[in-house]
Amino acid sequence: MASIVSSLSAENELKLHGLFSSRVCFHLVYKSSHHGADIGQLLDRFDKHGKYLLMVFPSTGFVRGAFMSKSLKYEKEYSDEEAFVFQLRDTYSDRFPELNCTRAITVSVGSFSISFEKHLSLTLDQDYWYCSEVFFRGICQQKVDVQLCKDVELHRVQDLGDILPNPWREVVWHDTTRENLREDFASYKMLLESLPRVKALFLGPVGSGKSSFINSLRSTMYKRIVHLPHIGTSVEGFTQKVTTYGIRTKLRGPQSALSFCDVKAIGDDDSTGLSYTDALAVIKGHVPEGYKFQRGVRVSDAVSGYIENPTLNEQIHCVLFVLDASRVTTYPSSLQSTLKKLHSTISDMGIPQLILLTHVDQVCPVVEDDVKYVYSSRALQDKMKKAAELLGLSLSYVLPVRNYVSQLTVDCNADILLLNVVMSILQAADDTLEDKHSIPVPVTPLTPKKRCDNLDGLFD
């Protein structure tokens, strides 16, 4: 919603904040002058949960509106003890909580109207919104005629009690940070010279964002949104075969030290997705590039192109468990068991593992507006802890990201999260390989002058 600006002035927004007993923030989700005067468009902006603020801007008069703590999407009449109607004047604001709590709000889609008892009514007529209201002040009744609305807005209301006063992870959200990370990634050289490129494997359920991450990272490096044909959606997952993707340091530039292996999504059980044994075969390097997984057929040495004795370059050097932040607490127990079993076996194999937590913008509206608040959201922190517990890893192994799905331009803060992931992969692989292989410590040869300098004082 960054391109849509509310008609609410800063002064009126301050008055509006004063109507709430706790600290809140507002997120614009519908604006009639942008989305059109359509009750379907308006109702579609509600979800099953959440609190909302409906505001009308009459052609004459003051800003008026209503707060509701329930969605208006699925019912026609609502009881809402928290609902209130308000108006914002030049010098003060009024709040009218005298709603009949058993029938505070009525939605009539047939006649295209939303009513807040006797206080405020919003009606759609021939592509225009009209509002009418009766406000009471003291013992005097003040009646306002029906007015044409210049604009109608719907805002999601978030309690800032969900936002931590200080982030629990420190990140410098600046373009310089992004450029430094890009340069570090582009120039990264593996400590083990016989392994020029790390091969990281994505493992995750359908819709977790495995393929989208590759698209997003390429967008980050190319500094523009990249549209590649391997991204898509399907009930059983879009990716059905083993595909390795290299990441270039820039458009038409050299390959980086990192490549990604994408495979079929993990299902609720072995019959509906990538099986446990097939996942291990990929990790060990036995499965050839381009192999298409088939339901009920396990990878074996009978497979065409089966790699009997894979080299280090053909094996997987880091495993990324890709989990959806908006669904991580609702994954079925069968999927959770598969993930834990894989984690345990991969740990025994001595392969580093990380958790890539996607769709973080769907968990918290503040993060949806700007991902720099990713480490300030209590809700998202809870999701990250749940992801860590699900795999049996510590919280430091959980890396949140927002993939580029609907954006048309890259974003600095989203890029920083994406680049933090790839640097973590490379460093984790290097740390593990250093323990497994004898990596010689580089010795800088002394120049003749330095050799003479080192002899000074020996013959004094």
pLDDT tens digit sequence for 283-331: 999 999 999 988 778 899 888 899 999 999 999 999 999 999 999 999 9
E strand or H helix at 205, and its extent?
none
Checking DSSP bridges between strand 198-203 and strand 255-262, what pairing results, if any? parallel
Residue 136 pLDDT > 50: no
Rounded CA separation 223/273 (Å): 34
pLDDT digit string (tens) for 153-179? Answer: 999 998 877 788 889 999 999 999 999
Q: What pLDDT does 178 receive?
A: 97
Question: How far apart, in whole angstroms, are the C-alpha atoms of residue 426 and residue 188?
Answer: 8
- pLDDT bin (cut points 50, 70, 90) of residue 444 is low
Higher pLDDT, 354 or 66: 354
Look up the pTM and report it: 0.70
Looking at 42-56, 126-140, 178-192, 395-409, which range is the least confident one?
126-140
| DSSP SS3 for 27 | strand
Query: pLDDT tens-digit profile of 388-428?
Result: 999 999 999 999 999 998 888 999 999 999 999 999 999 99
Taking a C-beta distance cutoff of 8 angstroms, is the pair 273, 266 a contact?
yes
| Model pLDDT, residue 62 | 81
- Averaged pLDDT for residues 101-124: 66
Q: Give the CA distances from residue 61 to residues 127, 195, 399, in Å, rounded to whole numbers and listed in that order.
A: 21, 71, 49
| Phi-psi category of residue 227: left, alpha or beta, with phi > 0 → left and psi -120 to 50 → alpha | beta
Through-space distance between the first and last CA atoms of the chain, rounded to whole angstroms = 76
pLDDT at 139 (0 to 100): 39
What sections of 256-359 are H helices per DSSP? Answer: 276-284, 333-348
CA–CA gap between residue 390 and residue 348 (Å, rounded):
18
321 closest CA partner among 338, 300, 303, 296: 338
Task: Give CA–CA dist 191/317, Å, rounded.
Answer: 13
